[in-house]
Amino acid sequence: MKNIILAAAVALFIGMVGTPVWIRIVRRLGYGQMIREEGPSAHHGKRGTPTMGGAVFIVGSLAGYAAAHIFTQTPPTVSGALVLLLMTGLGLVGFVDDYIKVFKQRSLGLRSGAKMIGIILVGVVFAIGALNFPNGYDVTPASDRLSFLRDFGPSIGPYLFVLWALLLIAAVSNGVNLTDGLDGLAAGPAAMVLAAYVIIGNWQLRNSCFNDGLAPNCYSVRDPLDLAVVAAAVLGGVFGFLWWNAPPAKVFMGDTGSLALGGVLVGLAILTRTQFLLAILAGLIVMITLSVMIQVSVFRVTFKLKGTGKRVFKMAPLQHHFELSGWAETTIVVRFWLMSALFVAVGVGLFYLEWMPKG
């Protein structure tokens, strides 16, 4: 528990203090956010807002994790290192994307193909590492089975697992990126999911199959406590960032932050053996991603059939539909936060109910 508190506290401090410093640096360099011309007109006033703020909570998370292990004199684990590697690697891909945007003063950064190559390279390293490094019980950070509340079904083999992990990584990281369209909209729900993983990691530790007294329905997760420490460190960093990102935002996380957050969420889901549970915990992100998929699919199909594309929403992602419907930005953010809290509550409730001894 000390590790969790220390990691969150250090990361929170760095996020609170470091973000305004980062804002001043970015302003001095003239690295302001570019806004898409086809986006809602209300967003044009946000042009020039300092961006790449995700770099601060990435650094804060790494520092918080390191400080927790140094102060408690406990060694870091492979599981924790892998999730942080995934977060940092995707954050670097996003940083390059953001830098191109602000350097060339355009709303598009890396080409989609180049960005996907970067995501794949980082994801492959994570997935391969997750299937190696067994502990004394011959348990690796991840298993080559699918999981919901724990592993289920037969092994899918290492090759299919790597492809499955890449699909999850690409889907979740891009989902967070799509959600990051209003001030605080991505950071708030991400923080709630991270808080859920602090609870899940603690619960898995207390009911681990590697404890002296085996609990009923125990969990075969390699390093549950350290995964909770990682979740707490990132949670603290995001809290510190959110203080400055709350409407009206003084800084944006950019692709640097959104890709990194997607990486840490999916990394925690894979290593805690809760892959499909993440779809519930991050239900708001899933809903926003589906709105884009529906919009694009319907438009393309109707365009081919009728020569005129039909739109389901006034604009996608979903938050922009409500903006164009007359909702205030803060109203959308708060209501979406409430929806996210409900998704997280349902997810954590299912996790707990599954564990309860039957009978």
Residue 177 assigned to a binding site: yes
- Amino acid present at 238: V
Q: Which of the 8 DSSP states describes residue 106?
A: S
Give, for 293, the enclosing helix (H) or strand (E): helix 283-306
Contacts of 195 (CB under 8 A, 6+ apart): 231, 235, 344
Task: Kindly write down the DSSP assignment for every residue of 127-157, as one continuous string.
Answer: HHHHTS---TTS--SS-SSEESSSEESS--H
CA distances (Å), 45 to each of 26, 32, 49, 101, 312, in order? Answer: 18, 12, 9, 17, 27
Residue 152's beta-bridge partner residues? 146
Q: Is residue 275 within 8 Å of residue 269, measured between CB atoms?
A: yes
Residue 132 assigned to a binding site: no
Torsion angle of the four alpha carbons 259, 265, 268, 269, in this order, in degrees rounded to the nearest 10: -120
What is the spatial distance between Cα 182 and Cα 332, in angstroms, rounded to a whole number? 9
Angle at 86 between CA 80 and CA 90, to 5 degrees: 150
Which positions make up the binding site for Mg(2+)?
A: 177, 255
Which positions make up the binding site?
A: 177, 255
